[in-house]
Amino acid sequence: MANVTVIGAQWGDEGKGKIVDWLASRADCVVRFQGGHNAGHTLVVGDQTYKISLVPSGIVTGTLSIIGNGVVLDPWALKAEIEKLEGQGVNVDRSNFAVADNCPLILPFHRDLDALRETAAGKGKIGTTGRGIGPAYEDKVGRRAIRVCDLAHLDALDAQLDRLCAHHDALRAGFGEPPIDRAKLIADLREIAPFVLQFAEPVWKRLRDVRKAGKRILFEGAQGVLLDVDHGTYPFVTSSNTVSGTVASGSGMGPSAAGFVLGIVKAYTTRVGSGPFPSELTDETGELLGQRGHEFGTVTARKRRCGWFDAVLVRQTCALSGVTGIALTKIDVLDGFKTIKICTGYRLNGEIIDYLPAHAADQAAVEPVYEEMDGWEGTTVGARSWADLPAQAIKYIRRIEELIECPVASVSTSPERDDTILVRDPFED
């Protein structure tokens, strides 16, 4: 059986929730492999809406859902999210949910440091969600993190706490903050430990068994490739690798596990927070896209910046992540526009280039080169076949395929799960 990896091929918020939910209903296992509870997915199933940030989307259909070691885990956020899901009638127990025992933990002082840095940066802030994701990853690579497995050995934590406090207390002092209260931290961890440990296990072993049994695995990415710490609009990025290659290291499975790589792509472009955005529209058209698309962050409720589709960026992210096919979402938001533009290149220092340069100053300086197309009358809302689409909408989709050099696997025409035109089934490809 084929595995499928879902990644966002823009700056996140591409509509991964609906696609992952649809795929999860046909998968045997869903795995998160990077990021933290800064990811926001909205799932609409019938008359029920679920908003989740940390638990894999498969949980709402009872599919085995696993948080891999590449995720940084806030134990209190996990508890709150599971309790909310259970309040909506979703069952969560060891039979359908597991957490890697080597996941690094997000602790209260990580959230503090995140907020202190952003406040001090003022206009130069990166635009993080303030949930401590970055500082937790810093501690992971600095080899001073407290991990899920440490919750079972809290009495032996002194040496790790010494390293953590030596680092963080110096940073906190620089911001005029008191040192970490070690006694309170241990007390808080002792209280939350039983809840987390009931789900903890070496998930690489469970995934090995799932794969040996020939079952379907869905790898659920968070954020988007343009927020990748290596390949994104650095430094305005997240603190993890969001490309499909992270499946291997973030789940404990080999690189061959990724399978069909499905890139989720919005029919226009949005971004939350700071950083370059070549095709951004700050006029009435940008406002209209935001209103029609209900462009507010699931996690932060921050208003998203909006602009025309940027084919340069998506072609680049598809190459970086080895995308097999894209799922084009929110085509219905473009209904009724008389003219639609697509960014096909950039002008930098008088030259036309076909990629986003690495340096932040160059990224901020590029000017979009647009191609114009006629819009379409009528509606694409609820379309489930090509025959239901206006001819000009099909022309727009085909032009996107040409420009990004990657085929369309599906087209989403509303938030409802079944309002999808399926071209290629990732699990059957």
Active site residues: 13, 41
Tokens found for residue 173: 């002092």
Reference 292, options 388, 410, 419, 381; nearest CA is: 381
Q: How far apart are CA 420 and CA 163, in angstroms?
A: 51
Q: How far apart are CA 193 and CA 174, in angstroms?
A: 31
Task: Report the b/e string of 42-65 with b at 16+ CB within 10 A.
Answer: bbeeeeeebebbbbbbbbbbebbb
Q: How far apart are CA 111 and CA 122, in angstroms?
A: 17
Instruction: Please compute, for residue 402, the number of CA atoms within 13 A of its CA located in the half-sphere on the CB side.
Output: 9
Beta carbons within 10 angstroms of residue 23's beta carbon: 24
Q: How far apart are CA 47 and CA 319, in angstroms?
A: 38
Reference 354, options 321, 403, 407; nearest CA is: 403
- Cα 304 to its chain centre, rounded Å, is 15
